[in-house]
Amino acid sequence: MIYIKHLMSGLDIFKALSSDIRIQIIELLAKNQSLNLNDLAKRLNLSNGAITMHIKKLEDSGLIEIQTSGGKHGIQKICYLKKEKLMVDLISRDEDNLYETEIRVGHFSDYRAAPTCGLATKDQIVGEFDDPRYFADPKRVEAEIIWLSEGYLEYRIPNYLKPYQKLREIQFSMELGSEAPGYCDQYPSDIRFHINNTEIGSWTSPGDFGDSRGTFNPEWWPPQLNQYGMLKLIRINNDGCFIDGFRISDVTLEHIGLDYRSSIAFRMAVDDRSENKGGLTIFGKHFGNYSQDLLVRVIYDTI
């Protein structure tokens, strides 16, 4: 996700989005995940020179990424969307009133996992497939993809608030999917979210996606396993809890009772209360379609 806190800092992005052609390029990349320059030029009926100009503006703005690869007809430039979401604060906030942290998906503090399950770093599988004992392996902190058919993962969120600061909102951004044996694009799973053992809402993942290779997956990752998920943004404040802007519950920060002294534990779970018990997969920086781990943003007021 690209987060623009001040309008002037997003000027390059706004200029890049001011062209109908560049909007069409983004739509094509969103639909196809990746295309080379020749494909884009043909689909939009543009010359190679014209498409190169538009692509450069999108790349300079940070909206897309270009990777070079060898093909049958020589070197190709492959274009990808760099981020799926763009969030803009129309009212600028003081930079001092928020902090962000990125937690590696393998750095969970508690877990319960039932097969099918497993973990992998960008270089190798941790232990063996479908053996929950390896969730306690010291190498699990390096994991960048984790999957389980039932259970939970819990993460400790750092609380840097001072006594004179009051929590206004917490945001969690992560790439999630279901967990089917192998993969299955139609495999719904109700993933439930908790803060400090209070359930704040749930989201139904539509599937465990493997129809195309994840953009950031390492070369050794088998094609018959899940490849990517969906980027989700969870926000909880004193109005309720929201996912991608849609209310998922009326639970507020006040219900949880967090302050500067609080420990903060964020849990995602698939359990007996889930009507669709299709497991969960969380993707880290070197897996899936988004180069990120678990991103957390804490916004607060000075009192």
| Same structural domain, 179 and 222 | yes
- Gap between the Cα atoms of 232 and 290, Å rounded: 11
- Gap between the Cα atoms of 177 and 270, Å rounded: 12
- Gap between the Cα atoms of 60 and 22, Å rounded: 13
Phi then psi dihedrals of residue 227, to 5 deg: -115, -35
- Gap between the Cα atoms of 26 and 64, Å rounded: 8
52's enclosing H/E stretch is helix 48-61
Angle made by CA atoms 6, 11, 17, in degrees to the nearest 5:
120
User: Tokens representing 168?
Assistant: 């206004």
- The answer to whether 266 and 234 have CB atoms below 8 angstroms apart is no
- 30: domain CATH number is 1.10.10.10
Give the sign of the dihedral formed by CA 87, CA 88, CA 89, CA 94.
positive
Domain annotation covers residue 88: no
* pLDDT tens profile 256-294: 999 999 999 999 999 988 889 999 999 999 999 988 999
Those residues with Cβ within 8 angstroms of residue 53's Cβ, 6 or more apart along the chain or in another chain: none
| Same structural domain, 231 and 297 | yes
- Gap between the Cα atoms of 45 and 79, Å rounded: 17
Domain annotation covers residue 87: no
Q: Which domain holds residue 29?
A: 2-81
- Gap between the Cα atoms of 119 and 47, Å rounded: 45
pLDDT, residue 92, reads 57
Domain annotation covers residue 122: yes
Map residue 206 onto helix, strand or coil.
coil
pTM over 0.85: no
Domain annotation covers residue 123: yes
Give the sign of the dihedral formed by CA 33, CA 246, CA 104, CA 4.
positive
| Same structural domain, 72 and 107 | no
**For the chain, the helix, strand and coil percentages under 3-state DSSP, each to the nearest 5:** 20, 40, 40
In the chain, the number of structural domains is 2
| Same structural domain, 185 and 260 | yes
- Gap between the Cα atoms of 291 and 303, Å rounded: 36
Per-residue pLDDT of the chain (303 residues; tens, 9 = 90+): 777 766 766 778 888 899 999 999 999 998 888 899 999 999 999 998 899 999 999 988 889 988 887 666 667 889 988 877 787 877 655 556 999 999 999 999 999 999 999 999 999 999 999 999 999 999 999 999 999 999 999 999 999 999 999 999 999 999 999 999 989 999 999 999 999 999 999 999 999 999 899 989 999 999 999 999 999 999 999 999 999 989 999 999 999 999 999 999 999 999 988 889 999 999 999 999 988 999 999 999 998
- Gap between the Cα atoms of 70 and 179, Å rounded: 33
User: Tokens representing 7?
Assistant: 């309008």
State which amino acid sits at residue 174.
M
